[in-house]
A and B are shown apart, each in its own frame.
Chain A
């Protein structure tokens, strides 16, 4: 009986903390999103993104939920092939990022990094006609992030991804991307990744791309 009461009290306690703070549900939703394997269905990602959106609506004044909604929407936008729809998702992401900045009262390295990622996704929707405009916004935002915190791994990761997908003829490709992933990897290693208020996203993807680049490097060496 005592045990039961204890369990009851704990459950109630959990419910009340849940009702007061976004941290627990947001952490749970983000970690679930981040843990999805690369081949996970788009639908399962959308589900978790939508969950985060509800958390952001409930704790509207807090910056973190809006930040994660902006982040997940941006990640999801890359899957969208229809340019107009792609833009519509990013319009939402930009709005959420704006709400996050409002909550923070100012830009941080993380908001600049995310703004860069949004620009990168805009460009990805139609690279040939968009790179002059969004390539610049991408670079400028990463530069602003670097001025605040030069050891933010995510900006090197983003630069790496952007280089990775740029054709080799334009100075991109795996070989040129490798140093960025390597640098990001070093900084990722120093992150604890246990506090949702200190964004730690990107490690998994960085490890994947770093591996791909190294694989290619070896192949080249073999030849």
Chain B
């Protein structure tokens, strides 16, 4: 009885509570557009905290006190939020909500034609660690690019040989300004290192064509290097290796930092353990040193100022194969007939840059940079003094306006002044100033489409020429993990400096690029296929003297020089990189095929230049052995034969029709990492050309004798240790 009474007492209360806050159960499932369940999605009634989470079958269920007209909302990080109006008057079951995958929309399509871009979400780029851990790169960022598609192997030239272009047709850019004399100077025919350490750069982006309207004066492509921002913390770095010693230090304050470093090198020990090719005999071993300083200041969250200065000094004395051998012309008054000539190099180099970047509320981005390079060479070539001073001063300012995150416009202007003054029996010089303005738009009208039109105007004071160069690139997503890109444009460049030095004034040369690319990238695996066609026009051409097999000539002798040269290059390239299939293993395969012919400079017929091999292959593998804290890497490079000139085949059909044997190189490196207390050390050893292959880059003829053009070294062995300290007190964060 009591119980019953109690129940009666309760009954109205219970119903009241039901009517005031009756719990209705809402259930259903969430699926994506492919009818697959969406797991972990939050499903809730808008403006309430009533909701549930979907299980692995996409099913959800929750209760609510709300009723009437409501909106059920569904959110999940990898999908677009969806909503559905519902009327709650009781339990609701079997609701079906559809969500659209936005994961692959987040990463808007990026233009990849012609370029190996660098940011943390793309994987095909070579970062500093990649550069130093790649066998055969010798820690040189430019050398490492020879393991990417579109480039040629070289042991005799300083620079990048991109898609049929010679080294003067590729520009090396640091913080958006071109670097003059980017390589340590050495004797002709002997490739030297670039002047940079890969650890100076946070980003390396390599373009083998179709590059931005920001740049010009490179018929082939650009290597765009971006220096580090503010260093992480104060540190000290010391190293010793087979060719020298170096030390550097960084002091970090809250809003600024200062670095300074110095090095001394001497190749004696290296030469002792390496196999020097027959042609080259050092009588003054290459030695020298350098110093550098850098200041970084961040006045506010969105601004950064960087100033750098560096200077290097080096000298060497070497007997080299006489580069004038095989030259048939007799008007060249300097024609020594010795098989070997002495070449002394003494080089002083100065390089400084200052740049400032500031963004304003993500709407405007201002960037300005200035740089200078000055290279002072005092060489002796077979008892004759050869002095050469090269300089370049540059200024750039640009503003980027971001209208929405899908549309931005860049406007900029740059000014360059450069020149060379050479004294070799007589004085030769030129001075060029170029003014340019450019505009470039980046537009992603929809996530699967990116468009980047650009235009550049430039004026040459030396040549009194005006040029307008349109550029265009686009990318379209072709699937969740793949995309297709197109790039093209007109690229202008002054003729090789030696013409202006020799008193000729050929006008600007041009190349039109058409590039198509398809890229698939998923989970650390990337496949890239690229095809291109380039049409060269207005190339400089000499008349009157015939072909000279000396690629390192410093003077042009001709009746006249004009712009009637022409040519083409076309090719197919493949790149595959896989960091996924095996743990701690990263490997890539790069293959390039090129078909190119030119009628330019002193060519007597349209032919493939001597530095171009039709097939180039690089296979690079790296593996980190956890247990031993050791990184090992091996690289195999191959190039089919290079064309060379046989004076007996001087006819149009025979001109440069012979090919050298194929080029092979195998390189290995190993690096062992170890911490001694707070010191982090790396011990490394590398062997280049392990098999001591006697590679040949061409032949020269002298008195019917066929002389091989070889690289300076065959097998080289290199080892050293680097130690760095960045933690100075125990509990430092």
Binding site for B on A (CB under 8 A): 1, 4, 8, 25, 42-43, 46-47, 50-51, 53-55, 57-58, 73, 82-85, 87-89, 91-92, 126, 128-130, 132-136, 139-140, 142-143, 146, 155-156, 159, 167-171, 179-180, 183
Q: Give B119's nearest chain A residue, CB to CB.
A: A133
Contacts of A50 in B (CB 8 A): 40, 42, 44, 51-53
Contact among A53, A128, A129 with B75 in the assembled complex (CB-CB below 8 Å): A53
Given contacts A42-B40, A92-B77, A128-B579, 19 further A-B pairs with CB under 8 A are: A1-B9, A46-B40, A47-B53, A54-B49, A57-B44, A57-B47, A85-B78, A89-B78, A126-B524, A129-B120, A133-B120, A136-B230, A139-B233, A167-B626, A168-B675, A169-B674, A170-B673, A170-B680, A183-B731
Chain B: minimal CB distance from A127 (Å): 11
Residue pair A84, B51 in contact (C-beta under 8 Å): no
A-facing residues in B549-596 (Cβ within 8 Å): 579
Residue pair A179, B233 in contact (C-beta under 8 Å): no
Contacts of A171 in B (CB 8 A): 675, 678, 680, 727
User: Does any Cβ of A come within 8 Å of B55's Cβ?
Assistant: yes
User: Does any Cβ of A come within 8 Å of B629's Cβ?
Assistant: yes
User: Which of A83, A129, A139: most chain B CB closer than 10 A?
Assistant: A129
User: Does any Cβ of A come within 8 Å of B202's Cβ?
Assistant: yes
Residue pair B128, A132 in contact (C-beta under 8 Å): yes
Residue pair B629, A180 in contact (C-beta under 8 Å): no
Complex Cα spacing A167 to B121, Å:
23
20 chain-A/chain-B pairs, Cβ below 8 angstroms: A4-B9, A47-B53, A50-B42, A50-B52, A50-B53, A54-B44, A54-B49, A54-B51, A57-B47, A58-B48, A85-B103, A87-B106, A91-B106, A128-B129, A128-B579, A132-B127, A132-B202, A171-B675, A171-B727, A179-B731
Residue pair B49, A55 in contact (C-beta under 8 Å): yes
A-B contact count (CB 8 A): 110
Complex Cα spacing A43 to B121, Å:
28
Q: Known: A43-B55, A85-B77, A88-B103. Contact between A155 and B733, CB under 8 A? A: yes
Complex Cα spacing A91 to B75, Å:
14
Chain B contact patch, size range: 35 or more
Chain B: minimal CB distance from A96 (Å): 11
Contacts of A132 in B (CB 8 A): 127-129, 202
User: Does any Cβ of A come within 8 Å of B730's Cβ?
Assistant: yes
Complex Cα spacing A218 to B394, Å:
62
Contacts of B731 in A (CB 8 A): 156, 179-180, 183
User: Which of B42, B523, B626, B727: most chain A CB closer than 10 A?
Assistant: B42
User: Does any Cβ of A come within 8 Å of B104's Cβ?
Assistant: yes
User: Does any Cβ of A come within 8 Å of B56's Cβ?
Assistant: yes
User: Does any Cβ of A come within 8 Å of B13's Cβ?
Assistant: yes
Chain B: minimal CB distance from A138 (Å): 9
Q: Known: A89-B77, A132-B127, A171-B675. Contact between A139 and B733, CB under 8 A? A: yes
User: Does any Cβ of A come within 8 Å of B232's Cβ?
Assistant: yes
User: Does any Cβ of A come within 8 Å of B107's Cβ?
Assistant: yes
User: Does any Cβ of A come within 8 Å of B123's Cβ?
Assistant: yes
Complex Cα spacing A100 to B128, Å:
36
Q: Known: A54-B42, A139-B232, A139-B733. Contact between A169 and B673, CB under 8 A? A: yes
Contacts of B127 in A (CB 8 A): 129, 132
Contacts of A42 in B (CB 8 A): 40
Contacts of B733 in A (CB 8 A): 139, 142-143, 146, 155-156, 159
Chain A: minimal CB distance from B487 (Å): 25
Q: Give A158's nearest chain B residue, CB to CB.
A: B733
Complex Cα spacing A53 to B345, Å:
69
A-facing residues in B106-156 (Cβ within 8 Å): 106-107, 120-121, 123, 127-129
Q: Known: A139-B733, A179-B731. Contact between A168 and B42, CB under 8 A? A: no
Contact among B42, B77, B123, B673 with A129 in the assembled complex (CB-CB below 8 Å): B123
Residue pair A25, B128 in contact (C-beta under 8 Å): no
